[in-house]
Structure formats: C-alpha cells, structure tokens
Amino acid sequence: MNITGRSRIKRVPKRAAYDTETIHSILDAAFVAHAGFTVNQQPFVIPTIYGRNADKLYLHGSPASRMLRELQTGVPACIAVTIVDALVLARSAFHHSMNYRSVVAFGHARMIQDAARKTEALRIISEHILAGRWDEVRSPSEKELKATEVLEFSIEEASAKIRTGHPIDDEADYALPVWAGILPLPVLPQSPIPDPGSPEGIGVPASVRSLLGAFRSDTDELRSMDSIAKRS
C-alpha cells in the first residue's frame, strides 16, 4: 500500500501494518465504517455500512444523504474501521490498553451511474454484511435502484494498527497483588428473531446459519485460548 505522512503510523509504530492483506482482512471483518469529510472547515464523521472489492470501498444510501452528497463531489475523504477485541487490564492505570484492529484509509469517492455496476456494488455491500443473503431475497427493482445512490471510494493510501496479547507492565509492578490480563469482547451473534409477519414454516436461511457457524468457531478458539491460559 502507498504510504505518505498522512497514513504513516507515528505512535507505537510496532503496531502498524501497511500490507494489503492485513488491511483488507480488517476491512472485511467489520460491519460499520466511519466516513470523514469536511464542509466549510467543519469535519463530519458519519457511520455507514460498506462493502469492499480489491482497493475500492462501496457506500450507499439516499441521494438526500449529506455524506453521499458531499463525498460524490470528489473531496478528500477518510474512512476508518475499528474492531475492538479485548480490554487489556494492566497492574497500573497507565498501562491499560485495548486489543483492537483498525484501518484508516484515505482517498476520493465518485458516484456510480451505470445500473449494472450499481447493482454489482450493492451486491458487494450486501455480501459484506451477510454472505449469501443477496441470492435469498428479492433483487432491487428499477425504482429502488433509482432511489439509491452508490459511491465507489478508491483507497489511495491506508494503514492498519493492531494490538494483541497481554498487558506490558513496568517491571516493578509485576509484584503488585493486582489481577491483570485480558477481557475478550467479541461480537457474538445470537439466535435470529423471526419477524412476526412471516408466513409459518420458513426455516432460518443458509446465510444466517453460516454466519452463526463462523462466529461460533471464533468463540471456540477464544474459549480454548482461555483454557490454555488458565492451565498455564
């Protein structure tokens, strides 16, 4: 990934990553991004869902959305994605931290006009949020497509920042009678709640079952880390 002063990590550079694979894996793991743009010196930060393909992020919404209206003019933009993994509880207040994965991406957006490309971008956003869902549901009508604006944000530069592992305390503090360690904070999907307006007898779809399965393996991994830590 291209790096200049705006994307180079200044603080704790050992936590920085600039490789495309790391950056993409974080972008693919989060549900929400925060998009930044400036209007008359006033910065705005707006949460939005998104999807990714190669080094493009896709954003969508109503043509009346301020975020889309401003970004489509091609102003400099910044999109950040952050996943909190755990609280890191040290023996001193000073060394408390969080385990997290974040990406800050810089670039410009432009509107997608072509109907086929627009539909494909919407599919990418939908598949990002819940893989397999797009083919389970009614596709957008021509009218719905017209009522939706889709932007393509080109990532020109990006950096990732990642912290993992246990607290790092001052040498002298390890003797303190203070519990220290990690409190994992995963997002854990719960049993789906069917819409009361649904016809009877429609089972939970494959898309939802896959997502629940994927998250359950992540939690099992966490739990086994946990039991390893307890044994050690």
Candidates 15-23, 50-58, 110-118, 167-175; binding stretch for its own copies (CB under 8 A): 167-175
Q: Give the Cα separation of 184 and 87 in Å (integer).
A: 6
Q: Which one among 14, 41, 54, 113 touches its own copies, defined by CB under 8 A?
A: 41
Q: How far is the CB of 21 from its own copies (least distance, A)?
A: 21
Give yes or no for residue 38 binding its own copies (CB under 8 A): yes
98, 186 contact by CB (below 8 A): no
Q: How far is the CB of 191 from its own copies (least distance, A)?
A: 5
Q: Which one among 23, 26, 27, 35 touches its own copies, defined by CB under 8 A?
A: 35
Candidates 20-28, 51-59, 109-117, 163-171; binding stretch for its own copies (CB under 8 A): 163-171
In the chain, what is the straight-line distance between the N-terminal and C-terminal CA atoms, in Å?
Answer: 39
Q: Give the Cα separation of 51 and 152 in Å (integer).
A: 10
Candidates 15-23, 50-58, 110-118, 217-225; binding stretch for its own copies (CB under 8 A): 217-225
154, 74 contact by CB (below 8 A): no
Binding footprint of its own copies, residue count (CB under 8 A): 104
SS3 198: coil
Q: Which one among 24, 52, 91, 128 touches its own copies, defined by CB under 8 A?
A: 91
Candidates 21-29, 50-58, 110-118, 198-206; binding stretch for its own copies (CB under 8 A): 198-206
- Which residues are CB-contacts of 117 (< 8 A; sequence separation ≥ 6)? none
Distance of alpha carbon 38 from its chain centroid, rounded?
22
**Interactions with its own copies, residue window 97-156 (CB under 8 A):** 98, 100, 102, 104, 106, 122-123, 126, 129-130, 133-134, 136-141, 144, 148
Residue placing its CB nearer to its own copies in the complex, 19 or 226:
226
Output DSSP code: residue 29: H
54: closest CA among 7, 97, 1? 1
Q: Which one among 2, 19, 28, 84 touches its own copies, defined by CB under 8 A?
A: 84
SS3 164: coil
Neighbours of 33 (CB within 10 A): 22
